[in-house]
Each structure stands twice: as C-alpha cells, then as structure tokens.
Amino acid sequence: MPEKITDLIEHRSGEQYELHTDYINPVFVKMLKTIGFDKNYIRGEGCYLWDTQGNKYLDLLTGWGVFMLGRNHPKIRAILKDLLDAESPNLVRMECSLLSGLAAEALVRHTPEGLSRVFFTNSGAESVETAIKFARANTGRSRIIYCDHAFHGLTTGALAINGANFFRERFGPLLPDTQAIPFNDIAALEQALAKKDVAAFILEPIQGKTCELVGDGYLAEAQRLCNRAGTLLVIDEVQSGLGRTGKWFCFQHWPEVEPDIICTAKGLSGGFVPVGAVITRPRIMDSVFNSLERCVVHSNTFGQNDLAMAAALGSIRVIEEEKLVENAAELGQYTIARLTEISKTCPFVTEVRGKGLMFGIDFARPKESLKLKLAWDTLHKLNFGVFGQMIIIPLLNKHHILTQVAGYHTEVIKFLPPLVATRADMDWFLTAMEDVLADTQRVPGTAWNTVFSLAKNAVTA
C-alpha cells in the first residue's frame, strides 16, 4: 500500500463501486448504477465537484446538508491543519478542554438568551437522542409527541419518532410512549397535550422530507401550549439550523419563539469532522446532571474532541464573517421566486416551497391534459416513487447538477445549496430546471422512456 493517502487514492481510483459491492452495500451500488449516478468524483471545492473526465458539477445535495460552507473551505482547512500541527492533548477526559468551551460560547451567541448550555454530540440522531433523554429526566414523564412525515435520524430512539412507516418497519419494537400528530395542526397538539403527561413535543420547523414550513404563529402557540402542559418544546434544527433558512435558526423567523431545547449538527462540522450540539436552558441541563455522582450520566467518548470543536468554531466564524445567513436569505428568496415562476409552465408541479436555501418542488398528477394524466397513472401503477427520477437524472447527466429525491415514497425534490452559492450558481440551476420541466411534458419522449424503463426494472428486479 502506498504510504501517502493521496497516492493510494490515485492508485485505486475507479475501484470504489466494486469495493462497495464486495464489502459495503451492493444494493446501494445497484441503485446508483441503475440511475446513472455511479460517477467517479475526484475533487470538491466550494459548490462544485469534478469527476475523472474533468466535468464540473454543481452540488445541491451538499452531503445531505453537511457542506453548508461548500467543500474544503480554506479557512476551516487552515484551522484544522494548525490544530494537527499543534499536537493538542485532546480528549484527556478528566479535564475541561478549552476548545469545547469556546465552541459552546460561540454557538450560544446565536441562540435566545435563556438557551445557554451546550451538550456536544457526534451526529444529528445523537442530538435527538440526547433531547429525548433530557426531556424525560427534566419532566419525569416519558411520552414524546412528534409530527407526521418527521425525520429525526435513524437510531432506535429517533426512529420511534420518525413520521414514516417505511423507515420503522422491521426494526421494532421501538421506544414506547410516542405519538404522531399532523404537522402544523394546533388543535391536534392541544389534544395530545391535554393529559399533561408529555415530556416533549419535537418538530422540525421546516420538514426535511416535505419542505413544509410551520405556519405563521404556529410555533408561538405550540410554545404556549407546551408551557401550559409542562411539556418541553424541542426544535430539531439539524438540517434547518446555522443559517440555512436565512436566520441562524429557522425558529428565529418568529422572534417571540423560544424553545426549551435546540438540536443541531450537519453544517457545524464544516463538512470535515462529525459534530452536533444540543442547546438548552441551564435548569434543564442541571436537572440531568444533578449530583456529583451523575455529573457524566449522559456522555459520549468522542464528544468535544478537539478536531470537531475546531471545525465547529471555524464554521461559526465563517458563517459570521462571510455573512452566509444573509446570503441564504437573499439568494433563497430570489431562487424560490424564480423557480415558482418557471414551475407555472409545468402541469406536474403543485408547489414550490421552502425557506432560504432549503426548498423543494412538489409534483402530483396533473389536473388537465389527458395525455399527461395517462402517463402519470401508468408510471405510478408500475412504481410509486420514480417520477422524481425524471428530474434528478437529467439534472445530473445533462446539466451536471447533483440532487436527490427528498424521501421514500414522496414526489418532492429537495435542494440544499451551499450557503456560499452565488446568483450565477442559482441561474445555472434555474436554467436547467426550465429545460428539465419542459421535458416532462413531452410524451412520448426521452425523459418518460427513461423512467418507464426504470419502473419496469424496479418491478422485475
């Protein structure tokens, strides 16, 4: 094996799909090959990826939201290199590290005043698991309310509050005492809280699987109802946080809202080192760690490691210095408005929705045009979830834009551009969308032929 990792990568480049077939997940490889996503990317910088042929791709998937600052941000790379060179002691454990203190201090600069304590995690799901435990310990209750279509991660606790059966099937029994309510439905929440036996109500202010945003006034009312019922309001900002929607945290679009617990992760990593954080009130934290004996009753081995803390500190600094929250707000408004206009010409689009640089396009059976209705019905009889491939396949192969369908059994394509994207990047995307949406109306045509053959393959595979 070559000594240098870069030599190893060069030496074995192109073998990844074989290796994954043999050692990791052959079914995933098969899926990628079926839709023509089995590229060999060799470089990433900012909003772009390059493959071996020198093709440049615009990345609107951003590693499921991790590359908020783009790939290989020079400032974060420099911070991490400096830290490695400094030979920091790291994870001594029976001490308090400076970097985690500084990262916590930096993070709470952007939360409401009452939320000033931080627990660092290694992922979004771990942040959610932590929130569940904190809420149970604090309230002495076990019940957790969540929303239909919610996604909070795939560990068994987080799965127990997942709003889609697809993810839960065959993994049970899961955490008991959880209950789903419709998203954005205050009456349903009021009813669910009536017995005053609920530890926490957890929700994403904008749902990752649907791009549905809470209505104006919803969160403030949810907070009032939770306070009245002695329930903690947990806002999962793992995907929507750190500037993505045009505020540091999405709930801050409604200044009167102050949750009890915020979950975050993804972009905090700068795309380099996994890190998440749970931010809460001192009295909630103190109720968990409530004696010397219980001072690490909730903990994790790698939490607060120096590389993760440096990545978090660097990410917060870059978001502040480069005014990325403001960019997400402005660019998001521009893109969503133009995409809405463009979509009016496509009878399959029901809605363009989202906030800042987290938005999606929802497709459904067209109301008019017999020909299009027939094509839709025939495809859906063969396979429910393939229509979205008609958008993402040409986006990648013809326009070199990387995206993904938002979730299983949904007709929503979600876009998560890096917060460092420019108007030129978004114009690249909008021009491509105009073309791809026009193609959906050509029946028969290449786009339909592709998805019909995919659907048939899926049925016979």
Ligand X SMILES: Cc1ncc(COP(=O)(O)O)c(C=O)c1O
Q: Is 272 exposed, middle or buried (0-12, 13-18, 19+ CB in 10 A)?
A: buried
Report, in Å, the least distance between residue 302 CB and ligand X: 14
Given the complex with ligand X, which of 212 and 439 has the nearer CB atom?
Answer: 212
Given the complex with ligand X, which of 57 and 151 has the nearer CB atom?
Answer: 151
- Does position 302 interact with ligand X (CB under 6 A)? The reply is no
Residue nearest to ligand X (CB): 124
The answer to whether the beta carbons of residues 182 and 147 sit under 8 Å apart is: yes
- Does position 265 interact with ligand X (CB under 6 A)? The reply is yes
For residues 435 and 420, what is the distance between their CA atoms, to the nearest angstrom? 25
Report, in Å, the least distance between residue 102 CB and ligand X: 23
Which residue of 70, 208, 356, 360 would you call a contact of ligand X, by CB under 6 A? 208
Residue 245 amino acid letter:
T
Q: Is 438 exposed, middle or buried (0-12, 13-18, 19+ CB in 10 A)?
A: middle
- The Cα-based distances of 359 to 250, 343, 458 in angstroms read 13, 13, 28
Total of residues contacting ligand X (CB under 6 A): 14
Q: Which H helix or E strand runs over 437? A: helix 423-439
- Does position 261 interact with ligand X (CB under 6 A)? The reply is no
- E runs forming strands in 31-177: 41-45, 48-51, 56-59, 117-121, 143-147
Residue 424 amino acid letter:
A
Given the complex with ligand X, which of 15 and 166 has the nearer CB atom?
Answer: 166
- E runs forming strands in 266-331: 276-280
Of 233-241, 345-353, 399-407, 444-452, the window that binds ligand X (rule: CB under 6 A) is 233-241
Of 11-19, 84-92, 234-242, 296-304, the window that binds ligand X (rule: CB under 6 A) is 234-242
Report, in Å, the least distance between residue 274 CB and ligand X: 7
Q: In the structure encoding, which two tokens stand for residue 65, read together?
A: 């939201």
- Does position 123 interact with ligand X (CB under 6 A)? The reply is yes
Given the complex with ligand X, which of 129 and 306 has the nearer CB atom?
Answer: 129
Which residue of 130, 178, 239, 450 would you call a contact of ligand X, by CB under 6 A? 239
Q: Is 369 exposed, middle or buried (0-12, 13-18, 19+ CB in 10 A)?
A: middle
Query: What are the start-end ranges of the H helices in 24-86?
Result: 26-34, 62-65, 74-85
- Does position 235 interact with ligand X (CB under 6 A)? The reply is no
For residues 292 and 154, what is the distance between their CA atoms, to the nearest angstrom? 32
- Does position 269 interact with ligand X (CB under 6 A)? The reply is no
Q: Which H helix or E strand runs over 439? A: helix 423-439
Dihedral (Cα; 368, 374, 376, 379), 10-degree rounding: 180
Which residue of 64, 167, 254, 334 would you call a contact of ligand X, by CB under 6 A? 64
Could you identify the residue written with the tokens 């079914």?
Answer: 27
- The Cα-based distances of 438 to 31, 343, 352, 365, 452 in angstroms read 26, 9, 16, 16, 18
Which residue of 124, 303, 347, 407 would you call a contact of ligand X, by CB under 6 A? 124
The answer to whether the beta carbons of residues 120 and 103 sit under 8 Å apart is: yes
Instruction: Give, as ranges, the residues between 384 and 443 that touch ligand X (CB under 6 A).
Output: none
Which residue of 145, 238, 273, 375 would you call a contact of ligand X, by CB under 6 A? 238
Of 11-19, 98-106, 236-244, 389-397, the window that binds ligand X (rule: CB under 6 A) is 236-244
Of 103-111, 235-243, 316-324, 420-428, the window that binds ligand X (rule: CB under 6 A) is 235-243
Given the complex with ligand X, which of 239 and 343 has the nearer CB atom?
Answer: 239
Report, in Å, the least distance between residue 418 CB and ligand X: 16
For residues 308 and 312, what is the distance between their CA atoms, to the nearest angstrom? 6
The answer to whether the beta carbons of residues 268 and 275 sit under 8 Å apart is: yes
Given the complex with ligand X, which of 39 and 266 has the nearer CB atom?
Answer: 266
Report, in Å, the least distance between residue 8 CB and ligand X: 27
Dmax (CA) for the chain in angstroms is: 71
Of 20-28, 75-83, 119-127, 349-357, the window that binds ligand X (rule: CB under 6 A) is 119-127
Q: In the structure encoding, which two tokens stand for residue 248, read together?
A: 């540091």
Given the complex with ligand X, which of 163 and 314 has the nearer CB atom?
Answer: 163
Which residue of 59, 236, 411, 425 would you call a contact of ligand X, by CB under 6 A? 236
- Does position 204 interact with ligand X (CB under 6 A)? The reply is yes
Beta bridge partners of 358: 355
Instruction: Give, as ranges, the residues between 140 and 169 that touch ligand X (CB under 6 A).
Output: 151-153
Q: Which residues bind ligand X (CB under 6 A)?
A: 64, 123-125, 128, 151-153, 204, 208, 236, 238-239, 265
